[in-house]
Structure 1
Amino acid sequence: MMDLIKALLPSICVGLLFWYVMRNILRADRTEREQIDKFYSEHEVSELGGNTQTDVKLTSTKTSDYEKSDHGKGDATRSHG
């Protein structure tokens, strides 16, 4: 039984280390994206300068314009010659 523990211990430690590093990378990315969104939303509001007559609507979008377009969906035909 002790031999089994000795054999599995390095793999378990590497797995835990990998999990810890990946968790911190994902948390840092999430925090950075939140801070970037916050910065740009504050920056856009300050650029408007309190102009209440503008028709600009400030909304956050979860999908990019690229994802909304038909580009990259593979349904376009191409001529090769």
Structure 2
Amino acid sequence: KDWVSLPRYHHQYLPDEIQFEPGALSGQLQNELRFRGHTLKELSRTYGNMQAVMRDSKGKLHAASDPRGEGAAQVK
């Protein structure tokens, strides 16, 4: 559940930039990426929508839904 709620980032080839939601990249990481020549663009909106189902080591299924989007993840 925590994983699908994390802020997201995305590297876009054209234009060659890393787009990221607020909180996705620490200030230190942003500085390091710029130092290595990357162009960064902080988004003013969230993006993406995800539903996830995971099977744990005991075979039990777990479901989680991204709170930023529509839909639901469910295990029956």
TM above 0.5, yes or no, is no
Q: TM-score, normalised by structure 1?
A: 0.27
Select the structure of larger CA radius of gyration.
Answer: 1
Q: TM-score, normalised by structure 2?
A: 0.28
Q: Greater share of helix residues, 1 or 2?
A: 1
Q: Greater share of strand residues, 1 or 2?
A: 2
